A and B are shown apart, each in its own frame.
Chain A
Amino acid sequence: MAATGNHYTARSRRLNAVLQCAVAVAGLAALYSHPHSTQLAYIGPGAGFAFLGSFLTLAAGLFMSALSLLLWPFRMAWRAVRNRNSFRNAHVKKIIFLGLDGLDPRLTERMMAEGKLPNLARLAAEGSYQRLRTTFPALSPVAWSTFATGVSPARHNIFDFLDRSLKSYQPRLSSARVGQPEHVLRLGRFRIPLSRPAIESRRKSQPFWKILGKLGIGSTILRVPITFPPEKFDGKLLSAMATPDLKGTQGSFSQFTTRVEKATYENGSRYPLRRGADGFDGEIEGPEDTFVEGSPLLRIPFRVVRRGSAFELRVEGRRCRLNPGEYTGWQRLTFRTAIGVKVNGMARFLLTETEPDFSVYMSPINIDPERPALPISHPPYYAAYLANLLGSFATVGMAEDTWALNEGVIDEDAFLDQAYGIFEEREAMFLNALESTRRGVVACVFDTSDRIQHMFYRHLGASDRHAMVIEEMYRRMDALVAKTLPYADSGTALFVLSDHGFCAFRRGVNINSWLRDNGYLYLRNGDRESGSFFEGVDWSRTRAYGLGLGGFYLNIKNREARGVVSGGREAEELKHEIMGKLAALRDEDGATPIRTVYETATLYRGPYLEAAPDFIVGYNEGYRCSWEGAVGKVAAAVLTDNPKAWSGDHCVDPVLVPGVLFSNRRISADDPGIEDLAPTALKLFGVAPPPWMEGKALL
């Protein structure tokens, strides 16, 4: 391995090994020796949490952990024997996948030509660079699932961020489900779960790292989207997109303020701060206490006290400085349930104003990686190991708080501070993995590139003070490539890739409003507008409806609970009728918002096709599914301006937003697609791609 010049050395590698063992043993000891510790609690029913199991489960766990420790030397010996030939047919000893979510080929190519991305340019010159075909639709959960499995969405079952209940038409997170515990003991007002709530991944098929793991080739998978809950395999994994916060949501910020008593933002909440003699008092709202009837919310009081020109945050007996415009580090928050179970989270605070009003922003309460209330890594101690080695880090799926900026609770500078703070946390993990991996796979996805483009696209090409934010971000990604290149020696294949590109989001198209205007969707009482999630829709007359970002559905008999369209010929004729009319939609200025309407059944073949939207809408550049349309709301107008800071997007015709693919190897394929990376990884290790994989090896 090439010398790196950074602080990771052989000593740190030894420290890693020692820490890994220590954390594993400590984790097991803590898990099974303190029945009221946080390790026994995790988010279960909704935002609540529950015992990991009954007493018998605990006793069995204690026995198994002791047995596991005793057998550890034998297992290691057997593994060494079993894996001695794992790399016999391998063409490389290591593969690095550096994922830069949303890195756009047009911007990348332009900046490379201008000499602003020297390391990517060098990689392209010495290896190869091509645009990378993305999935239909061009959404991260879909595309990264295809990256992992080498199959199309019809074979991995992720078609959008959302899917819908065929019974209630309500949206659900497409990638994971957290269910209720099956057995609950009722003792007066207390509710004691006797079984684990099921936490289920909805992504199907098999990631390439699982296939490699079975053959003794290990992988370290860091924050690749749609890896929650973590799946068991021979390797290490830290979950990403779809990991909830401690409240069970996808990330709800809080604002504590003297401005109002209480108001709720679209995706966060505002809470009152009470003025006192020397400061302010507030209360942090946490998860539900599902051990008590009615599941009341758990709360932690806190104070902010003036200290000279600065302030001090006091929470749970701890104190930290609160300087205006400067985030605190991760503050541990321990919520105590009625029966003594503790639930650990952590959040960062930011003082956003002091005069005349006083306001404090609190990030979503992330699951604490040192004491995770939910499984967020494999092996379970891996998250704690990373936190102990490198410091705490954001764990919620979409960690950058785009909604706080959308709502004006934090400003652009605070958003960037947060995004780059998360970037640095991940960079440390990635470099640590590179340093400690001699053979196998290291894959890490950075979201910074996606989130900053979402929130700053309107500044691209402008002359305001944020005009260079996106370019600066591309330079940061290039600098990350520079840090990665020394690890890509002759025995290593390096791939730098993005899952999709980017373009502007100026106008929203509400498919539901269009369906209403064209007689395919009806509201009760002759109303023209509905509430969110189809409130007020007359399903008995509705033939099509839109939900999620990628497409829309027919209301099919015997598929949807209140379906009215017969399958077969009627559905086919209706499909073609709608596709023809929708493509003719025009904006006020005569522009064409929709480039192509795709019939999903013609794009993919696979067992989960029936769960897919019947149509995928290929929006033109500048357009996207409207905010309201995505959540099943029928608005007055079909076309509306997008007023939010979230001004860049990729939910357009996938042909318009390919990703990028750089490698230190020559890639000669004509039209590489993101589905080709998984079979490429297998082939590089001398493993024949399995017949169900649809991608083709690129090397």
Chain B
Amino acid sequence: MSTIKLKKDLLQKVKRVAAAGGYSSPEEFVEHVLEREIAKLEDAQSDEEIVRKLKGLGYID
């Protein structure tokens, strides 16, 4: 786990928004926002690989 520094006033806002939004911590909120943005830029894994990993899950063919 690495640390990112935030300005104090931004951190206060992050804490407020995280609490209001139902996140369990400011870290979870920041991670979610960053993941959402990064996901827009990342390539998807190969479809074949993704599907193969689901093999054996009882509920689906």
Contact = CB atoms under 8 A, between A and B. Distances in A.
A168 interface: yes
Interface residues of B, number: 25
Contacts of A171: 50-51, 54
Interface string B25-46: 1001100100000010000100
Interface in A393-440: 396, 398, 402-403
A105 B4 CA distance: 49
Given A206-B24, A692-B19, A692-B24, A403 B56 contact: yes
A443 to B, nearest CB: 19
B56 A46 contact: no
Q: Which of A398, A451, A627, A692 has the most chain B CB atoms closer than 10 A to its own CB?
A: A692
Contacts of A194: none
A167 B39 CA distance: 9
B57 A252 contact: no
A204 interface: yes
A250 B44 contact: no
A533 B51 contact: yes
Contact of B53 (A46, A396, A608, A692): A46
A267 interface: yes
Interface in A258-284: 266-268
Nearest to A630: B60
Q: Which of B25, B54, B59 has the most chain A CB atoms closer than 10 A to its own CB?
A: B59
A628 B59 contact: no
A603 to B, nearest CB: 14
A205 B24 contact: yes
B13 to A, nearest CB: 16
Contact of A162 (B22, B24, B54): B54
Q: Which of B22, B49, B53, B56 has the most chain A CB atoms closer than 10 A to its own CB?
A: B56
B53 A173 contact: yes
Nearest to A178: B53
A249 B53 contact: yes
Nearest to A170: B47
A591 to B, nearest CB: 23
B61 to A, nearest CB: 4
Contacts of A266: 61
Interface of B: 19, 21-25, 28-29, 32, 39, 44, 47, 49-61
16 contacts: A151-B24, A165-B50, A173-B53, A244-B53, A248-B53, A249-B53, A250-B55, A250-B56, A252-B56, A267-B57, A364-B56, A398-B56, A454-B58, A533-B47, A605-B22, A692-B22
